[in-house]
Amino acid sequence: MNVTQSKKPRVVVVSGGSRGLGKAIVAELLAEGDIVYTFSRSQTEFVTSLMAGPESQRFSWRAIDGTDFESVEHYVNEIFEREGRIDALVNNAGIAIDGVLTLMRTEDISSLLGLNLEGAIRLARSCAKFMLQARAGSIINISSIIGIRGYSGLSVYSATKAGLDGFTRGLARELGGRGIRVNSVAPGYLETDMSEKLNPDQRDQIIRRTPMGRLGKSADVTGAIKFLISDEARFITGQTVVIDGGITC
Amino acid sequence: MKRNEIEKTVMECIQRVCHEQSIPLKTVEFHHRVVEDLGLRSLDVATLTAFLESSFKFDPFSQNLASITDIRTVKDICDLYEKGLKGTLKPAATDDANDADSARIKRKLARRSA
């Protein structure tokens, strides 16, 4: 059995699906007809409207901090109890904290590593247990071009995203024989809540250096995610797909 | 859960993994070693523990109550889940192992730099 051959809607877990790229991923998957489970620290208008709207039958949200590993694992177990399967995971939750390494607070370093890396690894482990039983599944880790190229002031964030790409390759090898695919998607600078921190000069500089001449949009990324989850990507695993308008080329 | 129910579930899970992986299996005995006698590879053992977790609603490994190296035979699996379900498992003694590992690495580095 593979992810899309089943006529049933896919059951997809998306971490951090209340805003930014995660919100766009949730909306896109719901539009595809999937059953989407997501969690984040706080409820947003987007979440409230989905829970009250026609998609409420296929959408579930829980207030969980991604570094509360035990609660995340319980939530995944609950999803499996309810649905009987987990077809795909989009490991999207993440934070970006910048700063010169020697001036960074230890607490910030721990938060970055805890959510961006350990949180993603532990969520993948929770879901992979069920995917192993089904001998099918697709895991997408949301990485970043920051993990591929060095950027001053983002060394720790970069380490978490590069770590995530390494995790993708290792896990892809580990689970490939059981029909489970693992890939990374590495967006460039997107017009999301996280890029609002950029000042106009930084923004202009990024646009100048981008061959496509603009910042990315969430929709530029969700198409690749949909594709990687789908059966169209059935022979693609262990890859990092860079979606950055060419800034790293 | 009674011991015989645990044993029955463990046997069923082993048979399911062997069947799905086309591992030839005649009979499963409690003294059989999971890797050497049954022929399960590491990912098969991972799949087996996933089935066991779904059946028993309990995962001793992620809760640090056991290490996969504690399991050699089918009986070890039954014992582990029996203790786990009774709540008599104690956290795995990983610190000692880590200390031993780091001491070994330190000795190795010291020999290299000498």
Cα separation, B28 vs A60, in Å, equals: 42
Nearest by CB: A177 against B43, B51, B59: B43
Would you state the pLDDT for residue A1? Answer: 45
Nearest by CB: B47 against A80, A125, A132: A132
Out of A8-17, A96-105, A185-194, B54-63, which region has the weakest mean confidence (pLDDT)?
A185-194
Q: Right CATH number for B3-113 from 1.10.1200.10, 1.20.140.10, 3.10.530.10, 3.20.10.10?
A: 1.10.1200.10
Q: Is the confidence at residue B100, as pLDDT, over 60?
A: no
Would you state the pLDDT for residue B64? Answer: 80
Would you state the pLDDT for residue A192? Answer: 72
- Inter-chain touch A177–B50, beta carbons under 8 Å: no
Please compute the mean of the pLDDT values over residues A67-84 and round it to a whole number.
96
Out of A133-142, A162-171, B57-66, B103-112, which region has the weakest mean confidence (pLDDT)?
B103-112
| Paired residues of A184 in beta bridges | A141, A240
Phi, psi of B10 (to 5 degrees): -60, -45
More confident site: B55 or B108: B55
Contacts with B53 from chain A: Cβ below 8 Å: 129
Both tokens assigned to A27: 């909306």
Tell me the per-residue pLDDT of A179-231, one tens digit each, with 9 for 90 and over: 999 999 999 998 875 667 778 888 898 899 999 999 999 999 999 999 999 99
Would you state the pLDDT for residue A15? Answer: 98
Which range scores top for mean pLDDT: A203-207, B25-29, B78-82, B108-112? B78-82
Catalytic residue flag (residue A157): yes
Cα separation, A12 vs A228, in Å, equals: 13
Q: What value does the CA radius of gyration of chain A take, rounded to a whole number of Å? A: 17
Tell me the per-residue pLDDT of A27-61, one tens digit each, with 9 for 90 and over: 999 999 999 999 999 999 999 999 999 999 999 99
Q: Is the confidence at residue B28, as pLDDT, over 60?
A: yes
Nearest by CB: A174 against B43, B51, B62: B43
Residues 168-197 of A with CB under 8 A from B: 174-175, 177-178
| Shortest Cα–Cα distance, B32 to chain A (Å) | 23
Contacts with A132 from chain B: Cβ below 8 Å: 43, 46-47, 50
Please compute the mean of the pLDDT values over residues A49-74 and round it to a whole number.
96
Best of B54, B58, B63, B68 to substitute, by most chain A Cβ atoms within 10 angstroms, is B54
| Shortest Cα–Cα distance, B22 to chain A (Å) | 13
Would you state the pLDDT for residue B94? Answer: 53
Q: Determine what percent of chain B is predicted with pLDDT higher than 70.
A: 80
Tell me the per-residue pLDDT of B56-99, one tens digit each, with 9 for 90 and over: 998 888 878 888 888 899 999 999 999 999 988 877 655 555 55
Tally of CB atoms within 10 A around B77: 25
In 3D, which of A63, A204, A74, A227 has the Cα closest to residue A140?
Answer: A227
Question: Superfamily for A11-241?
Answer: NAD(P)-binding Rossmann-like Domain (3.40.50.720)
Q: ipTM of this complex > 0.85?
A: no
- Inter-chain touch B51–A178, beta carbons under 8 Å: no
| Shortest Cα–Cα distance, B73 to chain A (Å) | 22
Nearest residue of A to residue B50 by CA position? Answer: A129
- Inter-chain touch B50–A175, beta carbons under 8 Å: no
Q: How many CB pairs under 8 A join A and B?
A: 23
- Inter-chain touch A175–B54, beta carbons under 8 Å: no
Out of A80-89, A101-110, B50-59, B85-94, which region has the weakest mean confidence (pLDDT)?
B85-94
Q: How many CA atoms lie less than 13 Å away from A214 in the CB half-sphere? A: 5
Both tokens assigned to A54: 């026609």
In 3D, which of B43, B35, B114 has the Cα closest to residue B71?
Answer: B35
Best of A121, A126, A132 to substitute, by most chain B Cβ atoms within 10 angstroms, is A132
Q: Which residues of B touch A (CB under 8 A)?
A: 20, 43, 46-47, 49-51, 53-54, 59, 62
